[in-house]
Amino acid sequence: MSKKIEIRDICFDYIGKNKAFGALENINLEVDEGEFICILGSSGCGKSTLLSILNGLNKPKSGEILIDGKKVVGSGADRAVVFQNYSLFPFLTVKENVMFGAKKSLKRKNFTKEERIKRVNGYIEAVGLLDAIDKYPFELSGGMQQRVAIARALALEADILLLDEPFSAIDPKLRLELQELVSQLSKIHKKTVVFVTHDIDEAILLADRVIVMEPKHIKQAINIDLPYPRIREELVGQAHYEEIHRKLISSFYENIEQNIYEEVKLWE
């Protein structure tokens, strides 16, 4: 399998008034084409910072990002992002929100106007929102808004999907539905996915591999060799699932109190 993303020796500082704060130190990670990885870590450990560097919103102090073996600087049509807060345009309908980003990327691929509309409709259908296609974001629940954000990201037809805690504001039942949707769609559309979460159960349901972070660093990578589709109720109690779950819990919670304490001390 070929390498899709290579993160090489990334360091990143936030520059404050008087001093710099090191948020990431020497991050190294490779993601295979078609792989689904979850970056799991407690709040403040640098997950969003790493994703923002992958997305090109933040520039690393040192190190580099390679996609398909080529160094990338800034954002690009090869990466699409979904954030926690949906970030839809409130004055655009579902269809218009999905079309907004897609227009450029689908034009670049020389689709005719009819084909573009068909594809956009297809993505809206894939997330189950055809009935709401002409509604505005304020008319939709949080879960529906996040479906629009997923359709919009798919419509960009980028090889790589980057998601930053997309379901953490969604109630648990809907969250399960959306997790399944993202898992299915990423496989159907052959995406390489980097999904940030602080939820162990979410990581285990979605990922081929979980990258556990501690502040500033990658701590451990754990393979999740469970077959898809993964239905939580069916997995719970199975010896192999429980073993992976235990491994993740001990990796995630080890040193967590110390890390939170140090984070608080930084802001004293």
Give the binding site for Mg ion (CB under 5 A).
48
**Closest separation between CB of residue 123 and ligand ADP, Å?**
27
Q: Which is nearer to Mg ion, 48 or 179 (CB)?
A: 48
The two beta strands, 217-223 and 209-214, are antiparallel
Q: Pick from 70, 76, 38: which is nearest to 56 by CA?
A: 76
Query: Which partner from the list Mg ion, ligand ADP, none does 46 bind, CB cut-off 5 to 8 Å by kind?
Result: ligand ADP
Binding residues (CB under 6 A) for ligand ADP: these are: 14, 21, 23, 41, 43-49, 263
- Name the region of 188 (left: φ>0; alpha: ψ -120 to 50; beta: rest): alpha
- Binding partner selected for residue 253 from ligand ADP, Mg ion, none, CB under the kind-specific 5 to 8 Å limit: none
Q: Which is nearer to Mg ion, 49 or 97 (CB)?
A: 49
Residue 16 or 227: the one with the smaller Cβ distance to ligand ADP is 16
Rounded CA-CA distance 100/152 in Å is 8
Q: Would you call 182 exposed, middle or buried from its count of C-beta atoms within 10 A (0-12, 13-18, 19+)? A: buried
Please report how close the Cβ of residue 98 comes to ligand ADP at its closest, in angstroms.
27
d(Cα 143, Cα 124) in Å, to the nearest integer?
Answer: 14
Query: For Mg ion, which is the closer residue by CB, 48 or 145?
Result: 48
Instruction: Output the smallest distance, CB 207 to Mg ion, in A.
Output: 17
